[in-house]
Amino acid sequence: MAQIEWDHVSKWFGPVAAVHNISLVARDHEFLVLLGPSGCGKTTTLRMAAGLEDPTSGRLLLGERDVTHVEPRDRDLAMVFQNYALYPHMTVYDNLAFGLKLRKTSPQAVRRAVEDAAARLGLESLLARRPRELSGGQRQRVALGRAMVRQPQAFLMDEPLSNLDATLRAETRVQLKALHAQLATTIVYVTHDQVEAMTLATRIVVMNGGVIQQVGTPDAIYDRPVNQFVAHFIGTPGMNMLPVLWGRVDGALAAIVGSQRLPLPPGLPWMRAAESAVSHAATVGVRPEHLRVAAAPETGTPSLKARIRLVEPMGHETLVHLDLDPDLTLVARTPDRWPHSNIPVWVSFDPRHLHVFDPVSQVAYEAV
């Protein structure tokens, strides 16, 4: 039973609330990723689970057990730190064994556990070395190993890949996912990297300003962001946001974008909310990958006239920066190559890919 529950947890540092009234459950065997920009409170949330921070209010539950005021050593959790925090004066073996030795495990059991973890992580040949004699990737594996040997109820990981170079990070990500499948243990994982979050998570918790913005599967977070923050934070580049006014064209709902009118087909899920909105304004979001760019307007789908300002060729795709009006810009990700800038084009998209947010609360209409 390795379920971690934050029950109305807040954490204050002096006059600042790092985490504000969070209620969250990391379910058994789940790979829960806390995602958010730096300073959003995700690390503090994790450290409270570890017992390294005391919540200012609220409760922490491990399974059924209230562990709010229980020392870390009595929680049976393991943690992987961003900087690994390996003990510099100990060999890899001793680093792995330290926790077990403190728990008065028999020497034979310690040896077995350490060798087992080392074998899984490919550290056998490094056991006699000290951390400073290891590469970044090796250190990262030792840090993982140190967490694994104790076979804890759950793993807590604080940006464990952030100190690796891009290639290694991608490799390790895969290993980590495999490891999770293999260990079948709860993992709570903190990152600011949405790719890690999307690829690894069973569920993602998006945080900002000490508050949970949205909890959901990667797909749900991607497809149905509950507010503008989540919508923009997930995806690279972030979702295009356009201020619109609602109008009617031939009796049908249309969005007025800058100087252009965008007629919309009926039956979209958010339309009722949009129509009943007090204000006639809204923010419309559309992901760059859902935009199509063409020399001529597409028939059957809403199209907007634009001008290419800048092109970023990426090889397998191209980022096209577009001006609608002087103050209205869009980014499109297209498989087509657009070698020239400053040419007029048409932008079209499937209206089902539109996200509409209340301009004041920034909350998605479909979530209301």
Told to check if 51 binds another protein by CB under 8 A, we report: yes
Cβ proximity to another protein: between 14 and 335 the closer is: 14
Q: Phi and psi (nearest 5°) for 199?
A: -75, -30
- Separation between Cα atoms, residue 360 and residue 281, nearest integer Å: 9
- CA 29 to chain centroid, in Å, comes to 18
Instruction: Fill in the amino acid letter for 42.
Output: K
User: Which range binds another protein by CB under 8 A, 123-131, 183-191, 194-202, 203-211?
Assistant: 203-211
Told to check if 59 binds another protein by CB under 8 A, we report: no
- Separation between Cα atoms, residue 75 and residue 79, nearest integer Å: 11
Told to check if 305 binds another protein by CB under 8 A, we report: no
Q: Which residues, 147 to 176, sit near another protein by CB under 8 A? A: 150
Sign of the Cα pseudo-torsion (185, 191, 194, 195, in order): negative
Told to check if 339 binds another protein by CB under 8 A, we report: no
- Separation between Cα atoms, residue 148 and residue 143, nearest integer Å: 9
| Shortest CB 232 distance to another protein, Å | 7
Q: Which residues pair with 224 in a beta bridge?
A: none
CA-to-CA dists, residue 288 to 9, 74, 171, 241, 347, angstroms: 37, 48, 27, 10, 11
Told to check if 72 binds another protein by CB under 8 A, we report: yes
| Shortest CB 11 distance to another protein, Å | 9
| Shortest CB 147 distance to another protein, Å | 8
| Shortest CB 346 distance to another protein, Å | 28
Contacts of 258 (CB under 8 A, 6+ apart): 324, 325, 327, 328
| Shortest CB 39 distance to another protein, Å | 11
Cβ proximity to another protein: between 83 and 342 the closer is: 83
User: 150 near 171, Cβ under 8 Å?
Assistant: no
User: What is the DSSP code (8-state) at residue 103?
Assistant: T
- Separation between Cα atoms, residue 145 and residue 79, nearest integer Å: 10
Told to check if 8 binds another protein by CB under 8 A, we report: no
Q: Phi and psi (nearest 5°) for 182?
A: -70, -45
String of contacts with another protein for each residue 212-241, x by CB under 8 A = -x-------------xxx--x---------
Cβ proximity to another protein: between 101 and 272 the closer is: 101
Told to check if 328 binds another protein by CB under 8 A, we report: no
> What token pair was written down for 225?
């962001």
Cβ proximity to another protein: between 99 and 218 the closer is: 99
Q: Of these, 45, 153, 208, 240, which contacts another protein (CB under 8 A)?
A: 208
Interface with another protein (CB under 8 A): 12-17, 20, 47, 50-54, 56-57, 69, 71-73, 77-79, 81-89, 98-99, 102-103, 146, 150, 208-211, 213, 227-229, 232, 361-363
